[in-house]
Amino acid sequence: MEQLLGFAVPGVPYGCAYAVFAVGLVLTYQTTGVFNVGYGAQAYVSAFVFAWLVEDHAWPVWAAFVCAVVIVGPGLGLALDRFLFRRIPSSNTTAKIVTGLSLLVGIPALLPVVFGNQNLVGAPSIVFNPDTVYFHLGADVPVNGIYLSAVLLTVVMLVVLVLLLRTTRLGLEMRAAVESPRLLELEGVNARRVTATAWAVCGLMAGLAGVLLAPTEVTVQAQDYVTLMVAAIAAAAIAALRSMPVAAVVAVLIGVVSLTAQGYLPTSSFWYSAALPAFPFLVLVGALLFVPGLRHLDEAKDPLSSVDPPPPPPAARARRREVDRLVRTGFFVLLFAFVASMLTWMPPTWETVMNQGMAYSVVFLSVTLLTGTAGQLSLAQATLAGIAAFTAGQLAHHLGLDFLLGGALGAVAASLVAGLLAIASLRLRGLGLALMTLAAALLFDVAIFPAQAVSGGTGGITLKPGWLPLNLFAPNGHAYFLVVLLVLVLCTGGVALVQRGTVGRFLTAMRGSELGAAGVGVNLPWQRVLAFTLSGALAGMGGALLAIQQTVIAPGEFNYQLSLAFVVIVVTTGVGTVEGAIQAGIGLVVVQQLMQYAPQRLQGLTFVLFALGALAYAAHPEGIVELEKRRWTERAERVLTRRRRAPATPAVTGRP
Amino acid sequence: MTGADRPILELDEVSAAYGPYRALFGVSFSVGRGTVVALLGPNGAGKSTVARVASGLVPASSGSVRVDGRDVAGEPAWRIARLGLAHVPEGRGVFDSLSVEENLVLSFRRLGGRGQVSASLEQAYERFPLLKERRQDRAGTLSGGQQRLLSLAKVLVAPPKVLLADELSLGLAPGVVDDVYAGLADVRRKGTALVVVEQQVDRALALASSAVVLERGAVVYFGPPSGARAAVEQVVDRRARGRRHPASS
């Protein structure tokens, strides 16, 4: 008993930390309708500001607390509402998730740019002294300030928020605003202000959580907050994003069970090294499979949603024939110039950069197909790329198989995993599906990729020249370029054909309305599995090509954060068209390379740029690049038509 | 014009659009205090859009809307609601995810403090005992007719100056339609002016003191109810023959 207590009690502060975030997630979802993955990033900002003011500027603790929690926390929440989430129609689940993701990816990258790289050691504790042992539980289980702070924070927060949401007028209005802001306005309530208040409250809670949890770690790092989020998501999912007390209890249990198991399991066993870190994700998968409330998340509920005007069509489909011909000719001229340059005068550095960009483009095509065409959001595309790369690596290592052939087999493996993932999540859609893919990505990250048998440990697999024919590793040869170009052209053509063909129409129908598609006889489960399988194959091929280019396949190269970044990047440049994927791939590497010439401090800006772009996704779901393209096309059309004949008046139609 | 005979709701040359799709072309009519206006017309004529423009859900692209003599063009919906205009939108006008009681409380809170709220709840439950029975259930679990009655309970207890009732009878069983219309008559007796958007022409005209007939986003008739039936029939007739009305071209 004593031993059990000794193992379990240290789990309590961890569990409480998870609970604080889980409650925050449920709160945000209940009061704003957004599953805000960026909540952890919000908490990090407050913790960062707090520690920075105290350590670097010697502010008194109370002043720093007021600034970080009372001003920065709600201020950030209000800013998120004002500039981002207010612009997203409540029915657009993808936009809400992507925006949250951009915050999670973008904010930790932005802080060093603004404040410089900081190493903030040991933020001070507010309530209890972390090192003082206040009393002993049982005979010799010490309870120090960290435990007391964590428990106190969790309980106080839970009680306050439940009371706020269930008994106050504001809470009632917040819940009503989530369902339909317009209906609430008809009751004479300023729904915008209610939602803004909700965001401010959530921001305050995030700030409080961030600052009070800061002393539990040695330094204030974004990574810790992101990790906390992951376990919190599992707890929030068990509570079906509805009940804050359930979320808190489950979160504490996750913490306690993890640490207790950690105490009992032998450190060298598989259970210790793989199953234990995977525990929160297994909980998440279980919740997604068995909690019925999660199957109907984010179904459009607003009876007044028809008040919004319909979305505009994509640029490529709105083009006139003359302009279309011009664009196509221009594209082929550009392609020819690009290939000629790569083969003749391009400096080796830039040739490498472009090669990498093309390999990324192949991976990104998988996002185009899955998210752009089929409307399914997957947060595991980098994982699928990694599966193919490790498969090819192991086949080459053990069997001496040609790496390109191995890459093809790896793509098959990735597509199988993607298909299985799709089958497992057939009953989920929207947010539920995104969470399932995220859980899968995290499982691979912590339990499968680091395993000796998969990646050969943390160092990864180093590619040997003998594994490849055609001298593909030669620094000055163009063999790799030609291979990547060939694969990219084939994949682009393939995806474009799929988009235009029968399958593409089925997938587009599914994206538009699952109910409508089922009504005209589209086999939804099969189409979804198909989309995932094809997308897995594309991601796999891209992953194998990336591995050749990088010459080392390390577990960290294919982590879930990369998956998040992938979605964010492609969504920025245009998720609806194959051009969007290529723009994303080339854009990513070109910006990264240009950043090499920028000052050290701005290194993190690449992801910030793309995150900013994704924020524009809220207003323009077709992607910011696609939007500009349409504007330019329209300009060109105006010039062309003016030259030919008198301008035609745009047709005005009444609404049927 | 003195306050007493000033119309409670006036639309003057109002046009409106959903993005690039124009829906109303210069609609004008007025609603006197305590009177009932039936808003008639075929599907897609713009009846719901008129109601939405009046309550501020859809902004008017030109023209003016006056509630109780005050120009409300460009004002947010919640401000117009506070001037005493209530709008029960087509389909569902209650919050699915809130309980029946919470739906009522949300409306009654603006009347006053907790005492006022519970008094209002008592009144609502007295008029509609069914709502009392199901007060803890989520409003989404009510049937279509029960949801309309819930909407009516709100306006009966706290009568607005003008009520826009959009297709209250749509999709209801005939007996339930009777209940809904009995409720509307009660609302009227409390001095509330009504704008009844309706496809069941006879029902609406029986209640109305004047009628507006819309066709393709424009008013083709505004006058006493007696002439409305003929106007509606003409519209239907033109539709059947596929002719465009001059007002929309």
- On whether both B198 and B117 belong to a single domain, the answer is no
Question: Looking at residue B3, what is its pLDDT?
Answer: 59
Listed by number, the residues of chain A in 614-653 with a beta carbon closer than 8 Å to a beta carbon of chain B are 652-653
Instruction: With beta carbons under 8 A apart, name residues in chain A contacting B102.
Output: 172
Tell me whether residue A284 is in a domain: no
Model ipTM value: 0.91
A462-476 per-position pLDDT tens digit: 777 777 766 665 555
Q: What percent of chain A has pLDDT over 70?
A: 90
* Spatial contact of B14 and A304, defined as CB atoms under 8 Å apart: no
The alpha carbon of residue A61 is apart from the nearest alpha carbon of chain B, in Å, by 41
- On whether both A349 and A244 belong to a single domain, the answer is no
Tell me the HSE value of B41 on the side-chain side, using a 13 A CA sphere: 23
Instruction: With beta carbons under 8 A apart, name residues in chain B contacting A172.
Output: 98, 102, 105-106, 109
The alpha carbon of A145 is separated from its chain's Cα centroid by a whole number of angstroms, namely 35
Q: Mutate which of A166, A175, A183 to disrupt the B interface (most B C-beta within 10 Å)?
A: A183
- On whether both A248 and A324 belong to a single domain, the answer is no
Distance CA A46, CA A68 (A): 5
Tell me whether residue A642 is in a domain: no
- On whether both B164 and B242 belong to a single domain, the answer is yes
Least CB–CB distance from B81: residue in A187, A307, A312:
A187
A509-523 per-position pLDDT tens digit: 888 888 888 888 888
- On whether both B14 and B86 belong to a single domain, the answer is yes
Distance CA A499, CA A373 (A): 7
What is the CATH classification number for the domain harbouring A380? 1.10.3470
A386-434 per-position pLDDT tens digit: 999 999 888 888 887 888 888 899 999 999 999 999 999 888 888 889 8
Residue range of the domain that includes A444:
315-637
Query: Is the CB of A175 less than 8 angstroms away from the CB of B98?
Result: yes
Closest B-chain CA to A183: B93
Distance CA A248, CA A17 (A): 10
Residue A629, pLDDT above cutoff 80: no
Domain count, chain B: 2
Question: Looking at residue A416, what is its pLDDT?
Answer: 96
- On whether both B121 and B181 belong to a single domain, the answer is no
Number of A:B CB contacts under 8 A?
98
- On whether both A202 and A319 belong to a single domain, the answer is no
Domain count, chain A: 2
- On whether both B135 and B51 belong to a single domain, the answer is no
Tell me whether residue B146 is in a domain: no
* Spatial contact of B248 and B217, defined as CB atoms under 8 Å apart: yes
Query: Is the CB of A187 less than 8 angstroms away from the CB of B18?
Result: no
- On whether both B88 and B19 belong to a single domain, the answer is yes
Tell me whether residue A352 is in a domain: yes
Write down how long chain B is: 249
Say which residue, A636 or A426, is predicted with more confidence: A426
Tell me whether residue A282 is in a domain: no
Residue A645, pLDDT above cutoff 70: no
Q: Does B95 touch chain A (CB under 8 A)?
A: yes
Domain boundary among B110, B141, B172: B141
- On whether both B85 and B115 belong to a single domain, the answer is no
Report, as an integer, the average pLDDT of A610-635: 74
A354-385 per-position pLDDT tens digit: 888 999 999 999 999 998 888 888 999 999 99
- The helix-helix angle for A11-32 and A222-238 (nearest 10°) equals 70
- On whether both A50 and A164 belong to a single domain, the answer is yes
For the ranges A264-278, A498-512, A554-568, the maximum mean pLDDT occurs at: A498-512
Per-residue pLDDT of chain B (249 residues; tens, 9 = 90+): 555 678 899 999 999 998 878 899 999 999 999 899 999 988 888 899 999 999 999 999 999 999 998 999 888 999 999 999 999 988 778 998 899 999 999 988 877 778 888 899 998 999 889 899 998 999 989 988 889 889 988 888 888 999 999 888 888 888 888 888 888 898 899 889 999 998 888 888 988 999 999 998 999 999 998 888 899 888 888 888 875 555 544
Say which residue, A296 or A46, is predicted with more confidence: A46
Helix (H, G, I), strand (E, B) or coil at B165: strand
- On whether both B185 and B109 belong to a single domain, the answer is no
Lowest mean pLDDT among A241-255, A412-426, A618-632, B9-23: A618-632
What is the CATH classification number for the domain harbouring B30? 3.40.50.300
What does each C-alpha distance from A47 to A40, A41, B27 come to in angstroms? 11, 10, 57
Least CB–CB distance from A176: residue in B20, B86, B106:
B106
Question: Looking at residue A630, what is its pLDDT?
Answer: 76
Domain boundary among A232, A253, A274: A253
- The helix-helix angle for A348-367 and A524-550 (nearest 10°) equals 170
The alpha carbon of A398 is separated from its chain's Cα centroid by a whole number of angstroms, namely 34
Instruction: With beta carbons under 8 A apart, name residues in chain B contacting A179.
Output: 95-98
Closest B-chain CA to A180: B95
Tell me whether residue A283 is in a domain: no
The alpha carbon of residue B209 is apart from the nearest alpha carbon of chain A, in Å, by 25
How does A357-388 read in b/e, with b if 16+ C-beta sit within 10 Å? bbbbbbbbbbbbbbbbbbbbbbbbbbbbbbbb
- On whether both A351 and A236 belong to a single domain, the answer is no
Tell me whether residue B4 is in a domain: no
Residue range of the domain that includes B166:
9-92+160-248
Least CB–CB distance from A176: residue in B82, B95, B216:
B95
How does A454-469 read in b/e, with b if 16+ C-beta sit within 10 Å? bbbeeebbebeeebbe
A118-171 per-position pLDDT tens digit: 777 766 777 677 677 777 776 677 777 778 878 888 898 899 999 998 888 899
- On whether both B62 and B120 belong to a single domain, the answer is no
Q: Does A180 touch chain B (CB under 8 A)?
A: yes
Tell me whether residue B147 is in a domain: no
Least CB–CB distance from B89: residue in A303, A308, A309:
A303
DSSP annotation of A307 reads G
Q: Mean pLDDT in chain A?
A: 82
Distance CA A515, CA A521 (A): 10
- On whether both B164 and B230 belong to a single domain, the answer is yes
- On whether both B81 and B188 belong to a single domain, the answer is yes
The alpha carbon of residue A106 is apart from the nearest alpha carbon of chain B, in Å, by 32
Distance CA A299, CA B11 (A): 36
Tell me whether residue A477 is in a domain: yes
Query: Is the CB of B109 less than 8 angstroms away from the CB of A307?
Result: no
Domain boundary among A253, A271, A289: A253
Instruction: With beta carbons under 8 A apart, name residues in chain A contacting B97.
Output: 175, 178-179, 301
Strand partners, B215: B218
- On whether both B221 and B201 belong to a single domain, the answer is yes
Domain boundary among B75, B108, B141: B141
Question: Looking at residue A299, what is its pLDDT?
Answer: 64
A498: left (phi over 0), alpha (psi -120 to 50) or beta: alpha
Tell me whether residue A632 is in a domain: yes
Question: Looking at residue A647, what is its pLDDT?
Answer: 43
Q: Does A165 touch chain B (CB under 8 A)?
A: no
Report, as an integer, the average pLDDT of A17-25: 89
DSSP annotation of A276 reads H
- On whether both A101 and A171 belong to a single domain, the answer is yes
- On whether both A84 and A219 belong to a single domain, the answer is yes
